Amino acid sequence: MSTNGKLKLLFGLLMGGAMIATVACGGADDVAAEPIIIRETVIVTEKGEDVIVRETVIVTEKGDTETVEVVVTATTAPIAPEVVEDLIKAPDTQTPAGTAVIAVGGTTMGSENGRGANQCCEGLKNTGVGETLYRRAADDSTLNWLATDFTIASDLSSATVTIVSGVSFQVVDGYDAGMMTAADVAWTMNDANSVTNPESIHGQAGDFAGLWGEWTAVDDTTITFDFTAYDSTWKDDYVNQSGQAFTVLSKSAFEDKGADWVADHIVATGPYQVEEWLRDESYTIANRDGTHWLAELEPKTDRIQFVQVSEPTTRLSLLRNGQVDMAHLEPKDAAKLDLTEFTQTTAGGAVQLGIFFSGNLWEDVYAGGDKAGQPLPTKATFVHDLPWIGKPGSSHGEGDLEQARLIRRALAIAVDRDLVNETLVAGLGNVVHVEYFSTTSPNWDAKWEYPYDPDGAIDLIKAQDNDYNHGQAGKDGPLGDWAFEISIYAGPELGGGSSITGEVADAVAGFWSDIGLTTFSLKFSYATFRPTVVGRANTHPWITSCDKGRESNPWHFPKGLVQTTLTRGGFACGFESPEILGFYRRMAEASDSASATIAANEYLDYVYYQNLQPGVVSIPDAFYFNNKKIKSFKMDLAAASNLNSLWNLELK
């Protein structure tokens, strides 16, 4: 059968309006919410070429109920990238002299937060408010920052790091924290690490827990720690500006002023410091004193303001009207600019968006930490026999694992990646077949590609035993009695559900609907979703880059840490596998990049065969600035941020 015509109809419908639930973003303590999502009705009526969709969604969070009714109309008009006849010219800016105003995306900027355990923004190391231990050079080598040297034990069990001396903390609201020492570095890490501080909700709390135990300051310039699981890229990722690091904060500020004070005041060492912060609106940073300890990081612009603008088209409007000097734009909006009058700048890391099949928890014991070898608690994701989740030791034995693997394969080949790239990314992105791996790499092989084959997807599903949980799925489509209900959540990348991430989720839901599944795209806040990720309770597939999904990540970098029990208590992709644990350890402990590449290829073979993380598309993650106001702005290459090295920004 051919389903392409209906596919385009549903694809256009999903692009025209979102069948979603949206919940306002929560606060810093994002582990308390336990949402209940009730989908009431989905009625689709076709009249010729017109489609009317009505859906009622009720979201209950902490006892509060919100009802949203969405009415969407779409036609079968073919989808094509927008044709721009008159390119946008750079306007005269309306922003204050001496200040660069930047429109950023995201769903919540939050408030000023100066404690790692409270989820202090790790991006402070990128804007220049804070600093971390290392930086990344253009050739991928490591540059010293707050660290000057390190040694690793011959058995890879521990490390010693030397910290630079003579670095002062910023004076904040009259409080002078004095000079930074190794004690500040150790305290900051221990406060963020979920092993040493179980109450931490730092963005990398679980990652740190999977890597090392307590950090100890031996003296003012020396730190030691033991590795829980050695990772050869620890200095290139987890304590590096390029990666998922932490910002060094003042221990004495915490001790002298108290936890409540540091929760509202950032005391760090960067060349910029916070001048004003308006919760969920904007914040302004200013050159702290004009004499930063590292001359090459001395700011070229005295003041920078970041304005939160969640709606992508609004960011374009502000840029074209001169109300901001630079903006983060989606490719379809950037295509409207005259790039002789605007300049693109990027940290090099296009964001890969893919489908991660949560709920496949296949490890039986804790892999590391104090609980290493102990049995895991009961796994809630196996309560219902969901088609894409394979349960080891179930009544079907290994057959359930194989059935779920093949259904995941069917869901993967039901997605037209080229169409997504052309329609949503104006052809400016890259097709992604397996998350974490770029098809543009010389290491890529076509054997890892998922063909677009909706008919094959239907046949594959109908070849399975019809013995799984069907939900409320109808039986009048091409799958008949094999149809089932499936939801897909739009992760927080690039602004979450209100951004292109949400559009990709809609598209995937449309493709799955096209083969006869009852589908829903979910777009409530990540603060609400995250507890199910940390608690290993999520069963929804979700669209995400899941930690390592950036085109700028080197092929040989260890992958899979957040797909194991090593990060229990922190972030995860939603599935755990003992095989992935083995591949991750081989990559992490490899003595050279060639050995790490071999292990990476075997990991790729495995996740491709298991269909655990099929990719969809990579999204160019770029900013565009007005040449009339900004002279130049070159970012350092980064694997985990889209905006960094603000000290390089220079005004005309």
- Please write the tens of the pLDDT for every residue from 174-192: 999 999 999 999 999 999 9
- Please write the tens of the pLDDT for every residue from 600-614: 999 999 999 999 999
Contacts of 518 (CB under 8 A, 6+ apart): 42, 471, 472, 473, 474, 483, 484, 485, 486
Q: What is the pLDDT of residue 557?
A: 86
Taking residue 151's Cβ as centre, other Cβ atoms within 10 Å add up to 11
Q: Give the residue, 19 or 89, on which the prediction is more confident.
A: 89
Q: Rounded distance, CA 541 to CA 529, Å?
A: 12
Q: Is 500 helix (H, G, I), strand (E, B) or coil?
A: helix
pLDDT over 90 percentage in the chain? 70
Q: Residue length, the chain?
A: 652
Q: Rounded distance, CA 7 to CA 34, Å?
A: 34
Residue 394's pLDDT band, with cuts at 50, 70 and 90, is low
Q: What is the pLDDT of residue 111?
A: 85
Q: What is the pLDDT of residue 638?
A: 87
Q: Give the residue, 336 or 84, on which the prediction is more confident.
A: 336
Q: Rounded distance, CA 563 to CA 487, Å?
A: 21
118's tokens: 């409270």
Q: What is the pLDDT of residue 230?
A: 87
- Please write the tens of the pLDDT for every residue from 85-131: 689 999 999 999 999 999 999 766 778 999 999 988 888 999 999 99
Lowest mean pLDDT among 58-62, 391-395, 411-415: 58-62
Q: At which residue do the structure tokens 């090295």 appear?
A: 645
Residue 404 has pLDDT above 60, yes or no: yes
Q: What is the pLDDT of residue 107?
A: 66
Q: At which residue do the structure tokens 């001496």 appear?
A: 98
Q: What are phi and psi of 334, to 5 degrees?
A: -60, -30
Q: Shortest CA distance to 332 belongs to which of 251, 425, 263?
A: 425
Q: Rounded distance, CA 19 to CA 14, Å?
A: 7
Question: CB–CB of 432/615 below 8 Å?
Answer: yes
Mean pLDDT (whole number) for 484-489: 97
Residue 38's pLDDT band, with cuts at 50, 70 and 90, is very low
Secondary structure, 3-state, 426-465: CCCCEECCECCCCCCCCCCCHHHCCCCCHHHHHHHHHCCC
Residue 49 has pLDDT above 90, yes or no: no
Residue 35's pLDDT band, with cuts at 50, 70 and 90, is very low
- Please write the tens of the pLDDT for every residue from 228-276: 988 888 998 899 999 889 999 999 999 999 999 999 999 999 999 999 9
Q: What is the pLDDT of residue 397?
A: 55
Give the CATH H-level superfamily of domain 4-79+350-619: Dipeptide-binding Protein; Domain 3 (3.10.105.10)
Q: What is the pLDDT of residue 37?
A: 33
Q: Rounded distance, CA 359 to CA 376, Å?
A: 14
445's tokens: 């092989």
Q: Give the residue, 421 or 54, on which the prediction is more confident.
A: 421
Q: Is the dihedral of CA 477, 479, 481, 486 positive or negative?
A: negative
Query: DSSP letters along 561-618, please?
Result: GGGSGGGTTS---S-B-HHHHHHHHHHHT-SSHHHHHHHHHHHHHHHHHHTSSBEEEE
Q: Shortest CA distance to 548 belongs to which of 613, 489, 636?
A: 613
- Please write the tens of the pLDDT for every residue from 210-225: 999 999 999 999 999 9
What single DSSP character describes residue 529?
H
Residue 69's pLDDT band, with cuts at 50, 70 and 90, is very low
Q: Distance between terminal CA atoms of the chain?
A: 60
CA distances (Å), origin 614, targets 242, 294, 541, 553, 592: 25, 43, 11, 17, 28
Residue 55 has pLDDT above 60, yes or no: no
pTM > 0.85: yes or no: no
CA distances (Å), origin 588, targets 141, 361, 578: 17, 22, 15
Q: Rounded distance, CA 564 to CA 575, Å?
A: 7
Question: CB–CB of 493/526 below 8 Å?
Answer: no
Domain-wise residue ranges, the chain:
4-79+350-619
Q: What are phi and psi of 524, to 5 degrees?
A: -75, 170
26's tokens: 């929560």
Residue 396's pLDDT band, with cuts at 50, 70 and 90, is low
Q: What is the pLDDT of residue 54?
A: 31
- Please write the tens of the pLDDT for every residue from 566-620: 999 999 999 999 999 999 999 988 877 788 899 999 999 999 999 999 999 999 8
Mean pLDDT (whole number) for 386-398: 79
461's tokens: 């599903």
Q: What is the pLDDT of residue 214?
A: 97
Residue 27 has pLDDT above 70, yes or no: no
Q: What is the pLDDT of residue 14?
A: 42
Q: Rounded distance, CA 214 to CA 370, Å?
A: 12
Mean pLDDT (whole number) for 296-300: 95
What single DSSP character describes residue 83?
P
Q: What is the pLDDT of residue 44?
A: 35
Q: What is the pLDDT of residue 553?
A: 85
Q: Give the residue, 24 or 486, on which the prediction is more confident.
A: 486
Residue 63 has pLDDT above 80, yes or no: no
Q: Is 1 helix (H, G, I), strand (E, B) or coil?
A: coil
Q: Give the residue, 404 or 3, on which the prediction is more confident.
A: 404
Q: Shortest CA distance to 125 belongs to which of 295, 298, 242?
A: 242
Q: Rounded distance, CA 601 to CA 597, Å?
A: 6
- Please write the tens of the pLDDT for every residue from 364-374: 999 988 899 99
Q: Rounded distance, CA 605 to CA 597, Å?
A: 12
Q: What is the pLDDT of residue 75?
A: 26
Q: Rounded distance, CA 198 to CA 568, Å?
A: 11
Q: Is 158 helix (H, G, I), strand (E, B) or coil?
A: strand
Q: Is 5 helix (H, G, I), strand (E, B) or coil?
A: helix
Question: CB–CB of 416/616 below 8 Å?
Answer: no
Q: What are phi and psi of 619, to 5 degrees?
A: -110, 115
Question: CB–CB of 588/231 below 8 Å?
Answer: yes
Q: Shortest CA distance to 224 belongs to which of 163, 168, 283, 273?
A: 163
Residue 48 has pLDDT above 60, yes or no: no
Contacts of 172 (CB under 8 A, 6+ apart): 253, 265, 266, 267, 273, 274
Measure the CA angle with vertex 433, ends 457 and 408; round to 5°.
35
Q: Distance from CA of residue 374 to its chain's centroid?
A: 30
Lowest mean pLDDT among 138-152, 269-283, 377-391: 138-152
Q: Is the dihedral of CA 533, 108, 319, 101 positive or negative?
A: negative
Q: What is the pLDDT of residue 395?
A: 54
